[in-house]
Amino acid sequence: MPDERVDRPRSSSGPGRILVAVYAVFAIAATGRASLQIAEYFHRAPLAYLLSAVAALVYIVATVALARGDRTSVRVATVSCSIELAGVLLVGIASYVDRAAFPDQTVWSHFGSGYGYVPLVLPVVGLLWLRSVRRSSPDVVR
Amino acid sequence: MQAMAYARTVLLPVTVTVLACAAVLAVASGAVTARNRRAGTGLLVVAALTELAVVAQLVVGISQLASGDHDVSAALFVAYLVGLVVVVPLAVLWALGEPTRWGPGVLTVAALVVLVLVARLHQLWTGTGA
């Protein structure tokens, strides 16, 4: 972004620093879990494990986008946080409704209860943070 | 059993040390964030001590795995041990790039991650909730 005069990406400074750190933890945790599930016992619960992989991918994209913080990245981060929120809500509901499809845990099943419900809170905090980032750094030069 | 005795004399002290260091790091860095200060030398010393304890845990954990007859998924166990070693240095690098109260906040997150990972490690070791 040629018109950006800020020294550091706004979305990864201040409180955003912590947000990126938490996202990174979930990116690694979800990637690790999904890799293990798919490599070791994929046949046990294919749907749940594929969703684990999707979750991992979304966390990775969100982490990188939040850390970069240029205008495109903020947009990418907003999209991935939205997908993440939709994912945790849909998988959360599905895991209660259709228990047979989720015989094993994923990051998002039961609204992320296995991870202290952080997966449910994280996208909401992320979207709120991105909104404040967009508001405080408009596209004009400061 | 010999393995049990070893666990009590070596594994437990190491685990307790890691937990204590991580708890001190969590409280100290949380306090610095709450008081709106930047990360100082004191916090870095606590972080370094935590890292030392975690490295010791890695060594003890792997030697335990190699010698014991535990029914533990070796790859998963080692992944957790190695993950624990990586967390604090990465957090320190990320924290030092932030010259506000949120730098130490990153260390709080890292300390909490260490506590959670050690708890999971213990679950894996004892075969509960794995």
What domains, with CATH codes, occur in chain B?
A: 2-126 (1.20.120)
In tens digits, what is the pLDDT along chain A, a chain of 142 residues? 444 445 567 899 999 999 999 999 999 999 998 998 899 888 888 888 898 899 999 999 999 999 999 999 999 999 999 999 999 999 999 989 988 877 777 889 899 998 999 999 999 999 999 999 998 876 533 3
Contact check, Cβ <8 Å, A21/B94 = yes
User: Which of A45-49, B2-6, B83-87 is the least confident region?
Assistant: B2-6
Distance CA B117, CA B115 (A): 6
User: ipTM, 2 decimals?
Assistant: 0.88
**Is there a contact between A17 and B105 if contact means CB atoms under 8 Å apart?**
yes
pTM over 0.95? The answer is no
Of A14, A24, A36, the CB nearest to B100: A14
Handedness of CA B66, B55, B112, A91 (dihedral sign): negative
Residue A3 pLDDT: 45
Residues of A whose CB is below 8 A from B75: 36
Question: B54: which 2 tokens?
Answer: 């975690």
Q: Is B123 helix (H, G, I), strand (E, B) or coil?
A: helix
The beta-carbon neighbor of A17 closest among B90, B94, B113 is B94
- Across the interface, do A21 and B83 touch by the CB < 8 Å criterion? no
Q: Do B102 and A36 touch (CB under 8 A)?
A: no
Nearest CA in chain A to B36: A14
Query: Using CB atoms and an 8 Å cut-off, which of residues 6-65 of chain A contact chain B?
Result: 8, 13-18, 20-22, 24-25, 28, 32, 36
With CA atoms as reference, the chain A residue closest to B114 would be A25
Q: How far apart are CA A25 and CA A7, in angstroms?
A: 25
- A94 CB-near residues (< 8 Å, 6+ apart): A101, A102, A109
What's residue A88's pLDDT? 95
Res. B86: pLDDT tops 90: yes
Distance CA(B67)–CA(A33), nearest Å, equals 27
Predicted local distance difference test score (pLDDT) of residue A140: 38
Name residue B82's amino acid.
Answer: V
**Nearest CB to A22: which of B90, B98, B109?**
B109
